[in-house]
Amino acid sequence: MHRSSKPAIVGQVNEKSDVIPPSRTAAFASCRSRGTGLRTNCMPSDPPSPCKLPFLGLGAEAAAAELRAWGWPEFRATQLYDWVYHKLVTNPQDMSNFSKADRSALQERLEFTSCVITRQQNSTDGTTKLLLTWPDGKNAETVIIPDGARRTACVSSQVGCPVGCKFCASGIEGVKANLSAAQIVEQVYVLNCLLAADDARISNIVFMGMGEPLANYSQVITAVRVLHEPTGFNIGARKITISTVGIPSRIRDLAHEQLPLNLALSLHAPNEPLRRELIPWADHFALPDILDACRFYFEKTGREITFEYILLAGVNDQPKHARELLRVCKTIRANVNLIRYNEVASLPYGRPKSDDVVKLQEILRDGGVNAHVRKSHGRDIDAACGQLRRREEQAKAGTSLPVLSQGPLEV
Ligand code: SF4
C-alpha cells in the first residue's frame, strides 16, 4: 500500500508523539543509505518474495550450510553475518567484500529485511513504539524501552493474541497469524537500526508484546537462538524473558532447551475463578498444572520464576487478593512484578490507586516475597500492548479510537 510522505496521524492520536522526529528519521535514512532495506511509512512495500530464504530466521549454522550448498567457501558466511548483524547492512549491493556476481546471488536467493514502519510513537521518556508491517500483510508492535544503560526490546510473537485477556487490546479480535522466526528477529534488527544513531544496541529482550509466545513455540525458540548467537546480536539467554499465561507442556519443553531464559508467568489473579474470568485461556490450563511446570522449569534451569501481575482497580488489587497471592507465592520460588494497568479504549478496567498498590506490595513483602512495582515508561504514547495496531486497523476501517489518559508501559 502506498502511503503519503507524511507520517500517519489517525483520529485523535497524540500528534506530537506520533510524528517521527528528525533524529529518528535520520537514523533510518542512514540505515537506508547503508542498504538495510528499511523504509519509513512514505515507501511502498516490496512485493512478497516467497522463493527467497529469510536470512534472519536461519541462524549461523543454517546460513553457513546454505552458502556451502551454493559452493561458497566457509568464510563467506562469516562475512555475511558481519554485514548483517554487526554493520546492520542488508542490501547485498553494499557488501563491498563480495564480488558483483556474489552480490547478485545473495540478492536473488536471500531475503534480509522486508518490513515497513507504518507507525511510530516516541515518548518523552525515550520509549519508542513501532508498528511494523510485512509484505505478507502481517503487522506487529515492537518497542524500545530505555532504562539507564539498558535498552530493552519488547517484541511480538503473533499478530493479535489467542489468549483474549479481558483487559488487553491485543486479544480483542483474537489471533490473526504467527510471526515467523525471521519476523521476530527483524523486530530487533529494526530497533537496533534506530539505536545505531546513538551508538547503542538492544541489550535485553522481553517477549511481552502481542501474542502468546509459547503458542508459537518453534518460531519463538528459533528466533531466541538466532538472537542469542555470539556471532549475531549476542543477547545473553539471561537477558531474554519469555512471558506466558502458562502452557504446561511448553514450559516443560522450554526447560529442556538448555537455555537459561527468564520465564515470566502472567498470573494476574490469585485464585482460579478470577483467573478464568480475566484470562479465557485459563479454562484450558489449570493453575496447579502450570505451577508444577514452573517448578520443573526452576529445577532444570535454576532460574527463579517471575509472576507478572497486572493490577486492575477494584478487581485484583485489594488486601484480600494480596493475601491469596502470598499463599500462591509460598508454593514456588518466585518473585512478583506488580504492573499498574494501562487503560485500553472501550475496555471497562481502570488503573489502580497508588495506595492500593503500595498496600498490596507491603503485604507481599511482609510475607517474605520479593515484589516490585514496575517503573512506568511511555506514559504519553499508546503504551498498552496492542493499542497502536488497533488504531491502525480502525483507521483502515474508517473508524477511530478515543484517546485515553494513556497508562505506562512496564517491563
Ligand atoms: S495480555 Fe498478553 S496474553 Fe493476554 S491477550 Fe494480551 S497479549 Fe495476549
Residues 48-71 pLDDT 10s: 556 899 999 999 999 999 999 999
Predicted local confidence at residue 52, as pLDDT: 94
> Which residue in 385, 392, 393, 410 is the catalytic one?
385
pLDDT tens-place string over residues 307-359: 999 999 999 999 999 999 999 999 999 999 999 998 888 899 999 999 999 99
358-374 as b/e, with b when 16 or more CB fall inside 10 Å?
eebbebbeeeebebebb
pLDDT at residue 1 tops 90: no
Q: Which atom of ligand 1 lies closest to the CA of 209?
A: 7
pLDDT at residue 194 tops 70: yes
pLDDT at residue 297 tops 70: yes
CB 88 within 8 Å of CB 192: yes
Predicted local confidence at residue 338, as pLDDT: 97
Predicted local confidence at residue 92, as pLDDT: 98
Half-sphere exposure of 273 (CA within 13 A, CB side): 3
Residue 171 Cβ < 6 Å to ligand 1:
yes
Tell me, what DSSP letter sits at residue 381? S
Least confident range of 10-14, 30-34, 239-243: 10-14
pLDDT tens-place string over residues 144-171: 999 999 999 999 999 999 999 999 887 7
Residue 360 Cβ < 6 Å to ligand 1:
no
Predicted local confidence at residue 393, as pLDDT: 74
Active-site residue flag, 385: yes
CB 341 within 8 Å of CB 310: yes
Counting residues of the chain whose pLDDT is more than 70, the rounded percentage is 83
Q: What is the pTM of this model?
A: 0.85
Question: At 215, is the secondary structure helix, strand, or coil?
Answer: helix
pLDDT at residue 30 tops 70: no
Q: What is the mean pLDDT of the chain?
A: 85
Total Cβ atoms within 10 A of residue 173: 15
43-81 as b/e, with b when 16 or more CB fall inside 10 Å?
eebeeeeeeeebbbbbbbeebbebbeeeebeeebbebbb
Residue of 157, 176, 267, 385 best suited for mutating to test ligand 1, as the one with most atoms within 8 Å of CB: 385
- C-alpha cell, 281: 485461556
The residues, any chain, with a CB within 8 Å of residue 405's CB and separated by 6 or more, are 343
For the chain, domains (ranges, CATH) are: 22-111 (1.10.150.530), 116-397 (3.20.20.70)
The mean pLDDT value for 98-126 works out to 96
Predicted local confidence at residue 398, as pLDDT: 67
pLDDT at residue 82 tops 70: yes
pLDDT at residue 14 tops 90: no
pLDDT at residue 268 tops 50: yes
The mean pLDDT value for 357-380 works out to 90
Helices (H) and strands (E) in the chain, counts: 13, 14
CB 344 within 8 Å of CB 168: yes
199 CA → ligand 1 middle, Å = 33
Q: Which residue has the higher pLDDT, 231 or 1?
A: 231
Q: Which residue has the higher pLDDT, 271 or 407?
A: 271
**Which residues are registered as beta bridge partners of 310?**
339
pLDDT at residue 397 tops 90: no
pLDDT at residue 97 tops 70: yes
Total Cβ atoms within 10 A of residue 4: 8
CB 79 within 8 Å of CB 92: no
Residue 168 Cβ < 6 Å to ligand 1:
yes
Counting residues of the chain whose pLDDT is more than 90, the rounded percentage is 74
Residue 155 Cβ < 6 Å to ligand 1:
no
Q: What is the pLDDT confidence band of residue 140, given thresholds at 50, 70 and 90?
A: very high
Determine how β-strand 139-147 pairs with β-strand 128-133: antiparallel
pLDDT at residue 291 tops 60: yes
Predicted local confidence at residue 23, as pLDDT: 35
